[in-house]
Amino acid sequence: MVVSTLKTYLITPEVTLSYFQTLPSILESFSPDYAMYRSTNRAFAKDFALLCRARKITCFINSQGFDDKALDSVLPYFDGIHLKSSAFFLIKHFSSRCMVGFSAHTPQEVQDALQNGAHYAMLSPIFATPNKGTPLGVHILQTLDSHTLSRTFALGGIDTPLKVKQLTKIHNLYGFASIRYFLGEK
């Protein structure tokens, strides 16, 4: 069995001043490859992007909670935008301007997003996670072909090193994304 090294993707909780003040130590401790600003609190968006860029972390902004004007003002500071499944129709619009990530909840949504220009997709929920419905399970990742897996992040309920270890057994899985994993101690 081949054990892979997974890319890591930090997703912020709702960003408060307290969280933002601890973010540099979180980034230092975990050294994620990617980070997403997933907060309706616009006050820290630009500074989040600058902090990530200074550490060579590829950063995305989640479009949820931002109107067009606010999004246009901060998007240039980010490497890309992350879209929810309800914003599928915007993939092509943004893929000409920046990198695009996409939230998917079925293998078919992953494939459709990637075929329509998304640079990566997150498939969730893999493990049980609060308020996210029935988990898909690790086995769902094995239904994706190798090329699709190489552009897919597992998401949902990934909050312990043991769960990450389970994911490393999925050959060619690009990585995992999480909020709670990066809030714990390393």
Tens digit of each residue's pLDDT (9 = 90 or more) over 172-181: 999 999 999 9
Question: Taking all residues of the chain, what is their mean pLDDT, rounded to a whole number?
Answer: 93
17-63 per-position pLDDT tens digit? 999 999 999 999 999 999 999 998 889 999 999 999 999 999 999 98
Cα–Cα distance measured from residue 167 to residue 181, given in angstroms and rounded to the nearest whole number: 14
Q: What is the pLDDT of residue 1?
A: 43
Residues 80 and 100 sit within 8 Å (Cβ to Cβ): yes
What the chain holds in terms of domains, given with CATH numbers, is 7-180 (3.20.20.70)
The model's confidence at residue 2, banded by pLDDT at 50, 70 and 90, is very low
Residue 185, token pair as written in the block:
């101690």
Residues 185 and 17 sit within 8 Å (Cβ to Cβ): no
Q: Is the dihedral of CA 127, 59, 31, 40 positive or negative?
A: negative
Q: What is the pLDDT of residue 4?
A: 61
**Predicted model pTM:** 0.94
Give buried/exposed letters for 74-94 (b at 16+ CB in 10 A, else e).
Answer: bbebbbbbbbeeebbeebeeb
The model's confidence at residue 71, banded by pLDDT at 50, 70 and 90, is confident
Cα–Cα distance measured from residue 11 to residue 59, given in angstroms and rounded to the nearest whole number: 10
Residue 134, token pair as written in the block:
């029935």
What's the gap between Cα 20 and its chain centre?
18
Distances (CA, A) of 141 to 46, 61, 79, 122, 127: 34, 25, 26, 11, 12
